[in-house]
Structure 1
C-alpha cells in the first residue's frame, strides 16, 4: 500500500462522509484510517465483521461507507459483511478489498463501487472509490 504526497488535496469537502474501515491487519487499518481522516472523512475502525456490525448497529453512529477487507478472522468474511450491510442498511455503501484471488463478479453484486480493490492499492484509490459512490448517490 502506498501513500501519496498529494493527499491533502483530496479533502472530502464541507460535509464529510463517515467511513467504517474493517481490516484485521493493524498497519493497513491504521494507514487507511489516518489517510481518510487527513482527507476530511470521519472514520471508525473494526478488526472483523462482528466488530463492524456492533459499530453499525450503534444508535449514535451513522456510517455512509463500509471499506472492508474480504479475508478476516471470524465466522463472517467481507462478502458476508457486505451481504449483511445490504440487507440491514441499504443506504450504506460497501467497498471491498482483497489481496487474495476472489471473484470480481461476487464483489460486483455486493458493492455499488464495483469490483474488488486489489491489494496493494494506493491510498488515493480508496478516496477515489468513495468519491465515485458520492457522485453516484448525488445523481440518484
Structure 2
C-alpha cells in the first residue's frame, strides 16, 4: 500500500489501521517522491491511497491520473475532507474516501478493489 498524505497526524492515524487490515504501508508526504518511488518499485504495492490536497506541483488527483496511466493495475483510492472535491474525484472515475473516515469506511474502500498489500 502506497499512502500519500502530507498531514503527519492523519498519516500517523491511518497507518496502523491499514496495517491492521493486512497492508504493508509505504508513506510519502507529496506526489513527486511517491511517483519516483513507485516507478522504481511498482511490483511492491497493489494499491495507492492518496489525499487530494498536498504541497508541490501535483495534487492527489494528478497523482491518481498518473498512476492510472502508468500503473493501471494498481487500485486507487482518493481521500478528501473537502466536499468541493468529491464531484471531481468521482467524475474522474476514482474511488473516494471522505474524511473523516473510520476503519469500516477505509476497509470498504480497500475491498472495492483487489487490495492485499
Give the structure with the larger helix fraction.
2
Match of 2:75 in 1: 93
> What secondary structure is seen at the aligned counterpart in 1 of 2:37?
helix
Structure 1 moving runs of 4+ over 6 Å = none
**Where does structure 2 lack aligned partners over 5 or more consecutive residues?**
none
What pairs up with 1:28-107 in 2 under 5 angstroms? Answer: 28-59=10-41, 61-107=43-89
Supply the RMSD in Å over aligned alpha carbons.
Answer: 1.8
Instruction: Give TM-score scaled by structure 1 length.
Output: 0.73
Instruction: Give TM-score scaled by structure 2 length.
Output: 0.86
Match of 2:102 in 1: 122
Kindly indicate whether the alpha-carbon contact (under 8 Å) linking 1:67 and 1:94 is maintained by their aligned counterparts in 2: yes
Kindly indicate whether the alpha-carbon contact (under 8 Å) linking 1:46 and 1:52 is maintained by their aligned counterparts in 2: yes
Equivalent pairs, count: 114
Q: Is the counterpart of residue 133 in structure 1 residue 95 in structure 2?
A: no
By how many angstroms is 1:82 displaced? Answer: 0.6
By how many angstroms is 1:129 displaced? Answer: 0.8
